[in-house]
Amino acid sequence: MPAASFPPAGALRRFFEGRTEDAGMTRFDASTPEDRRSLVADAIAAHRERGSVFCTVEAHVTPPEQSTAGGEAPDESTTNADGTARDDPAAEPEPAPAWIQFSDPESRLNLDCTDEEYDRITDVLSTAGAFTIDEQTAPEDAEGRNLRITAHADDDDRIAQVVDRIFVEGFGYHEEYRLWVTEI
């Protein structure tokens, strides 16, 4: 049987971004704590059932502290009349939204974080129990680090709860952030 071909990470999110808010939640995104946790648990279950290499969940926007906008009104000298950013080849690109991958059978989480986020993520893991950082790499040419975290729990709901706490408490997203499943 040929291997299944899935859209690239972010493809599903881009497909649904144009929909109106009254269209309701799809099974690809959620924006309340209970719905996000259910979505992550379902994505992990689907990943296990399909035997895929990993599943990926991604926040809708950049973490608040990494955003270059910083929650302030846009600078009129760098925005167009409609509020969109002017093209500036010298400008640094906006950081990407935070993401977490889950892979089985290792029951391992994989994520990138800044040094500040790392401190908060280790706080989350220390209170969650049954989760340990097994590997971390910090390339010299990049800020932050990559973490490989083993979940010593087989309960998809428990893993989903910790994933959501990492987004809120570790990455600094507000309680009603939108989470997307971008790859299963």
Tell me the torsion sign for CA atoms 123, 31, 157, 6. negative
pLDDT tier at 69 (50, 70, 90 boundaries)? Answer: very low
Query: Is residue 5's pLDDT more than 70?
Result: no
Distance CA 73, CA 53 (A): 41
| Residue 68: per-residue pLDDT | 47
Query: Is residue 181's pLDDT more than 90?
Result: yes
Instruction: Name which of 145, 165, 161 is nearest 153 in CA terms.
Output: 161
- Lowest model confidence (mean pLDDT) among 4-8, 62-66, 173-177: 4-8
Neighbours of 162 (CB within 10 A): 24
Distance CA 13, CA 173 (A): 18
| Residue 70: per-residue pLDDT | 40
Q: Rounded to the nearest 10 degrees, how much is the dihedral formed by the CA atoms of 47, 146, 137, 108? A: -30
Mean pLDDT of 97-122: 96
Mean pLDDT of 4-17: 44
Share of the chain above pLDDT 70, in %: 71
Instruction: Name which of 181, 175, 125 is nearest 153 in CA terms.
Output: 125
DSSP 21: G
**Rounded mean pLDDT of the chain?**
81
Residues in the chain: 184
Q: Structure pTM?
A: 0.74
Alpha helices in the chain (DSSP H): 11-16, 33-50, 115-128, 156-165
| Residue 169: per-residue pLDDT | 98
